[in-house]
Amino acid sequence: MLTHAVDSYLALRRAAGFALRSQGTLLRGFAAFSACRNESHMRTALAIEWAGSAHSDFQRARRLGTVIRFARYLHAEDHSHEIPPQVFGCETPPRPTPYILSPEQIANLVRASSQSGYRTLRRATYSTLFALLACTGLRVSEAIRLRFEDIVADGLLICCSKFRKSRIVPLHPTAREGLERYLAQRRAYAPADDHLFISLRRKPLLSTDVDTAFRTAARVVGLPVSPRHPRATPHSLRHTFAVRALQSCPDGRDAITKHMLALSTYLGHAKVSDTYWYLEAVPELLQDISERCERFVMGGQR
């Protein structure tokens, strides 16, 4: 049966550093589906039928893409396993247009967070968290996993974040001072837990907690938070940091290349192309690119 093959495939890929949490669930579901049909080999028709039962085009494409990668693994050892075609299209949805915040909007958001809810540590927690995200470009998942020992002399130590990378994120003196002011309140609140940011339950923050607090503050300051795009989310603070960093890029091909590589490393991107994507984020950046290309072409014609 395919169940054993799924376990072998997941063990191999996880040994190579891939987490494959949701993919593992999907593949075990497909293996159970195949077992119900008394099929011990990968069959294209079954894969398409199983993937096609998902509710959306994206889910169908993602299911089938996961099975296709598994099928290639099986086919390498036994050619009787079929490799299904990608009939449901691309499994990666287009990236939504990011919402870029102005400095005034960020200041208003932090201020609203410091005044939202009861007069408890919650106010200091979210105002400090959002200010930290804005001035460092951290992912929310990275920030809520921070512990006391991750504050080092050079900044913040981000351990085994997305793509299993670790890096140092420098802290401006004002950011460090703000963090220390928060910690003066926070250490006494839950001394048994060493996470920097905790909830009123005295537990580490969850991403859903952050989303809820952000939407509450965003509504107060008039930011769009409905499901339509573009809209403000906690990740908008990271987007904004990246865009502002790109806008400060110096002229010159060599300088731009070094700047992009440094920013990609700083943000913890797996590919520098993920950093170049931010060039599309605001019209000003695209206008700068267009004008420089035009000047280059006109100069070349002379």
Q: What gap in Å lies between CA 3 and CA 29, rounded to an integer?
A: 9
- Which backbone phi and psi does 152 adopt, to 5 degrees? -115, 175
- Cα distances from 27 to residues 2, 50, 52, 174, in angstroms, run 9, 11, 14, 48
Peptide bond into 283 cis (omega under 30): no
Cα distance between residue 131 and residue 110, in whole Å: 6
Catalytic residue set: 139, 162, 235, 238, 269, 278
In whole angstroms, give the CA distance from residue 83 to residue 240. 42
Contact 125, 209 (CB under 8 A): no
